[in-house]
Amino acid sequence: MYYVQESDKPKFWLKFFNAIELYEDKLILPVTESNEIDYKKAKIFSDKIKRILNKTGCKKICISKKIKQNKQFIENIKNNQIEIVCGKWLYMILTNEILEYILKKENMEKSKTTIAIVINKIDNECMFENIRKIIREYKNVNIVTNKIANFKKIEEQFEKEGILINVSNNKKKAFLRSNIILNIDFSNEQINQYNIPEKAIIVSENANIKINKKRFNGICINDYEIKYLNIDEFNYDKYSLYDQKDIYESQIYQKQPLEYIKRKLNRDKVQIDYLKGNKTIY
């Protein structure tokens, strides 16, 4: 794993040759601000990073807060098929903690809260466990999907336990009484085809969601930040230049059993620091 960041004071020759400085596990670009990276430099930097990764056998990078703001650079990195650690995997792992955070903020109770889960495919153990936990703990749970047949078994399984869930794709009524909408894998275009309650809270784990309807006065949560016990405050760069969710995700072996991952989160006392809404920090 390499960490890509800006320089504090880049030397003249580094800037002249668009040279990337390699220091331990850091790739330091010869810029101090993201707006110094134009289209040409974005292509040069991303190509050089690709060559470094090919030589070392590394497939992922973590990008500092400043550099992430440059869309041209991010686009070129993606075009070079380099995976960016951006906290999305950890977002899924922390789904229930994020919901708990919202309940506390809004002074809501699980027994009185209706959640709509927007999903077409369950493709990992964590996602399934999250859905199962939500169904068992909240008042009403609706599954909104374009693949209704994929969720009939889940619906039947919970009916046997005496828990009723509704699986539908009704664009007018699917979200009718939903307090929280948990978007797993719908795009922004797909979710905007539905009638969204004016004050709904939308938590999107994949696509960045923006509701186009003028009457919508709710909150779209597309990002978050964490705090945790074992943070390395003495590593100034990683502590101050990067989002902590990205740093933490970069340090977890994702293919280990979910049980082990949960234990690590508990040991490190990982908590939601704040959520990023469409209007403000939440």
pLDDT tens for residues 239-268? 789 999 999 999 898 889 989 999 999 999
- Range from 26-30, 151-155, 208-212 carrying the lowest mean pLDDT: 151-155
Does residue 168 have a pLDDT over 60? Answer: yes
Task: State residue 215's pLDDT score.
Answer: 87
Does residue 233 have a pLDDT over 70? Answer: no
Does residue 222 have a pLDDT over 60? Answer: yes
- pLDDT band of residue 238 (cuts 50, 70, 90) is confident
Between CA 52 and CA 4 the distance in angstroms is: 12
Does residue 189 have a pLDDT over 60? Answer: yes
Q: In a 10 Å sphere around its CB, with 0-12 CB exposed, 13-18 middle and 19+ buried, how is residue 4 labelled?
A: buried
Residues of the chain above pLDDT 90, percent: 68
- Listed in sequence order, the residues at least 6 apart from 162 whose beta carbon sits closer than 8 Å to its beta carbon are none
- pLDDT band of residue 152 (cuts 50, 70, 90) is confident
Between CA 50 and CA 265 the distance in angstroms is: 32
Judged by phi (left if over 0) then psi (alpha if -120 to 50, else beta), residue 73 lies in alpha
Mean local confidence (pLDDT), 78-90: 95
Task: State residue 162's pLDDT score.
Answer: 83
The per-residue pLDDT of the chain, averaged, comes to 91
Residue scoring higher pLDDT (235 or 262): 262
Determine the 3-state secondary structure of 96 from DSSP.
helix
- Token look-up 């009916």 returns 159
- pLDDT band of residue 150 (cuts 50, 70, 90) is confident
